[in-house]
Amino acid sequence: MKSSESKSPLIIWLAIIGLALIWGSSFILVKKSLLGYSAMQVGALRIFSATLFFVPFFIQRRTHFLPGQWKYLLIAGLTGNMLPAILFSVAGQHLSSALSGMLNAFTPLFALIIGILFYAQKTNWKQMMGIILGLIGCIGLLVAGKGFALDFNIHALWVVLATLLYGINMHIVKTHLSNLHPLTSTSGIFMMIGPIALSLLALSGFFSVPVDEAHVWPLISGIGLGLLGSAIGMLVFNQIIKWTSAVIASSVTYLIPIVALAWGTLDGESIYLSQITFMIILLVGIYGINKSK
């Protein structure tokens, strides 16, 4: 049974802004964590840290799940957390944190396209125009270089794949898990993928890495990724989906690039005018999609 719970637009937008601050900061945390650990270790540490956060909540709410929901909890965990965490870490080895944040704005486009193709979501010409404009922005971001020169970085495709998985995850949560309280569903999701993350940490040699001066801040950054970006962030995000819809919840990506750009600027990263231009085109397309709804 679908929840009829609703909140005022002010509460929803405050939640979206707070989530943007959390997720917009995650790209710089990935960058800092990669200074001491491999991409696999950073992704797995992020997920396992979040899992530990949710253990008490899962113990309290473990009887709230229906037998048929466990597979969707696993799928949601893989598509919305485990795989994107690793993919963003792999991309972070080759991309600036600011560019990763801008590329993350692909998510709403994938959410709408997947909804149209697989969930019988209705569309109109305004949304189609928004999709076209958004795709122009997406392609531009992938090839934007200094002075509007072409500079395609193939590693940006790792972020594209991650945002595709995010789009799939939104509809899985909305369709199959929306009857659960967000704290219940999120705790269940991490209990399904936590053992996978722990196995990856062990296999990657994480536990043999010394916690010395060179690894303290990378370790803190990775744990922060888990507690903020994956634990609290996913909890807030699932609540927003429950209040609204997958597409509206994904509008958090309007603000994520701004936060990521701010961190990238503070960290001395190279940010091109062409990237900002195509990011604006992408966000205008997303705005047109959401406004038409």
| Domain map (residue ranges) of the chain | 9-291
Position 104 scores a pLDDT of 87
Pairwise pLDDT comparison (106 vs 64), residue with the higher score = 64
Percentage of the chain exceeding pLDDT 90: 57
* Helix ranges, the chain (H): 9-24, 26-33, 39-61, 70-77, 83-92, 97-103, 107-118, 125-143, 156-176, 182-203, 213-224, 233-243, 246-249, 256-266, 273-291
Most confident range (mean pLDDT) of 170-179, 197-206, 254-263 is: 197-206
With helix as H, strand as E and coil as C, how does 98-161 read? HHHHHHHHHHHHHHHHHHHHHCCCCCCHHHHHHHHHHHHHHHHHHHECHHHCECCCCCHHHHHH
Q: Which DSSP symbol is given to 210? A: -
Most confident range (mean pLDDT) of 1-15, 22-36, 232-246 is: 22-36
* Interatomic CA distance for residues 18 and 21, integer angstroms: 5
Q: Is the dihedral angle over the CA atoms 44, 50, 53, 55 positive or is it negative?
A: negative
For residues 289 and 127, the answer to whether their CB atoms sit within 8 Å is: yes
Structure tokens at 111: 């959410």
Average pLDDT over residues 30-51: 97
B/e letters for 228-257, b = 16+ CB within 10 Å, e = fewer, are bbbbbbbbbbbbbbbbbbbbbbbbbbbbbb
| Residue indicated by tokens 């305004």 | 126
Position 126 scores a pLDDT of 81
Residue 5 binned pLDDT confidence (cut-offs 50, 70, 90): low
Position 61 scores a pLDDT of 94
Of 82-91, 110-119, 256-265, which gets the smallest average pLDDT? 110-119
Evaluate if residue 246 carries a pLDDT over 50: yes
Residue 212 binned pLDDT confidence (cut-offs 50, 70, 90): very high
Position 85 scores a pLDDT of 95
For residues 71 and 248, the answer to whether their CB atoms sit within 8 Å is: no
Position 6 scores a pLDDT of 62
